Amino acid sequence: MKAIVLAGGFGTRLRPLSCTRPKLLFPVANRPLLDWTLERLAKSGIEEVILTVNYMAEAFVKRYRNFTYGMKITYSKEARPLRTGGPIKRAEKLIGHGGPFLVLNGDILTNMDYAELLKKHKEKKATATIALCRVEDPSRYGIAELTKNNRIRKFMEKPDRRKAPSNLANAGIYVLEPELFDYIPSGRPVSIEHEVFPKLAEEGKLYGHSFNGLWVDIGEPVDYLKANRLVLDTVVKQSQLGKDVIMGRETVIEAPSVVGEGATIGEASKIGSHTAVGDHSVVGKGVRIENSIVFGGTRVSDFASVKGAIVGEGVVIGRRVKIGDCCLVGDHAVIEDNVRFTRGVSVCPFRRVTESVLTPRCLM
Ligand code: GTP
């Protein structure tokens, strides 16, 4: 079976981190998000993946070339963003009309069993089967109204909690029959959720399959931190050190966490739980990092602290700097000594910051 992965979004809610890399290549427990997905697809027996790309397309080609995890990788590059349905139509020739295929939103981290989804799809002889995930807050998602037979009657977009017909959200993972290509207009942006699925539901050809596993839709920084925590909790489970990590005296690495290859952690520093420190990063003395993601090649100088934040690649954080919850520091930014950021400050790539910022804002 073939799979299409939608990988062309701008990731605007993760700016300024997404200004220099596509969201799907953000590290989750020190491995690009898309690597986790591709590995799972390969384990489910997928033989070919079509990556539909647009924004920073070359970054995907550079990383995955034409073959990865034993699967053939083909690229479908859009001249302009075609949203979530247009890229599927564009890949029609690559997919062919031989049988059902899988479509994934690439910004989802999940451990769902794709083979099980395909089995359910075949049992119902559906035109499309949507994976449905139980969510606590239906008001953030597209919520399905199901018949007893698991047919989807309709979707309610972001319903009020009290009016939601269920707590089963569209998980952004579908099995589709080639017949579906006839429902997508070609040559223009199409939202599959708004233009295609409602029509299929009306015609009684849309089914749902609910699952209870791990699922995070990485839209906002908090979701990204959550995805990182989930992988550390469920896959890594321990404090994992890469090759050639150098540790100073009295260094504490709390589980679960990962420290990448060739990183240095200085004397009396603490890497708290739910933290990922990227390859070749250098952490000084007396530093505290917790519940955070630090990309590779970053320097965190002596006595600095990073809590609940995301710090890009090649950043320099000065001595005694304090970086608080939900701060985002773009690649190669420089934060000078003694600067403090409270919650929600973001810094654009390559920016030099010399003074503290005590209200949430973006430093361009
Ligand atoms: P935001 O800009 O923050 O909303 O993020 P996003 O760009 O990822 O958009 P969204 O979360 O709606 O996208 C869901 C999935 O569809 C992601 O995997 C995107 O990469 C992908 N996607 C969104 N728009 C396009 C597009 O125009 N073309 C392609 N090929 N994929 C897209």
pLDDT of residue 162: 86
Query: How close is the Cα of 280 to the center of ligand 1, in Å?
Result: 30
- To test the pocket of ligand 1, the residue of 5, 6, 56 to mutate (highest count of ligand atoms within 8 Å of its CB) is 6
Residue 116 has what pLDDT?
93
pLDDT score of 163:
85
Q: Tell me, using a 6 A CB cutoff, whether residue 89 lines ligand 1.
A: no
Q: Residue whose CA is closest, atom 14 of ligand 1?
A: 105
Which residue has the least CA distance to atom 5 on ligand 1? Answer: 11
Q: For the segment 182-198, what is each residue's pLDDT rounded down to a tens digit?
A: 999 999 999 999 999 99
Q: Is the CB of 262 under 6 A from ligand 1?
A: no
Kindly give the distance from the C-alpha atom of residue 14 to the centroid of ligand 1, in angstroms, as a whole number: 12
Q: Choose which residue among 107, 184, 218, 223 to substitute to test ligand 1 binding: the one with the highest number of ligand atoms within 8 A of its C-beta.
A: 107
pLDDT at 140: 87
* Residue 78 CB–ligand 1 contact under 6 Å: yes
Cα separation of 212 and 196, whole Å?
26
Which pTM value belongs to this model? 0.95
Helix axes 57-64, 33-43, angle to 10 degrees: 50
pLDDT (0 to 100) of residue 161: 87
Q: What's the pLDDT at 155?
A: 86
In the prediction, which pLDDT does 154 show?
87
Ligand 1 in contact with 142 (CB < 6 A)? no
Instruction: Determine if ligand 1 sits within 6 Å of the CB of residue 82.
Output: yes
7 lines ligand 1 (CB under 6 A): yes
**Residue 83: CB within 6 Å of ligand 1?**
yes
Q: Is the dihedral of CA 110, 112, 118, 120 positive or negative?
A: negative
- Does ligand 1 have an atom closer than 6 angstroms to the CB of 81? yes
Q: Residue 157: its pLDDT value, please?
A: 83
Q: What is the C-alpha to C-alpha distance for residues 353 and 333, in angstroms, rounded to an integer? A: 8
What would the pLDDT profile of 230-250 be if each residue is shown by its tens digit?
999 999 999 999 999 999 999
For position 156, what pLDDT does the model report?
Answer: 86
Q: Give me ligand 1 centre to Cα 78, in Å.
A: 13
Spans of the chain below 50 pLDDT: none
Using the mean position of ligand 1's atoms as its centre, give its distance from the Cα of residue 8 in Å: 6
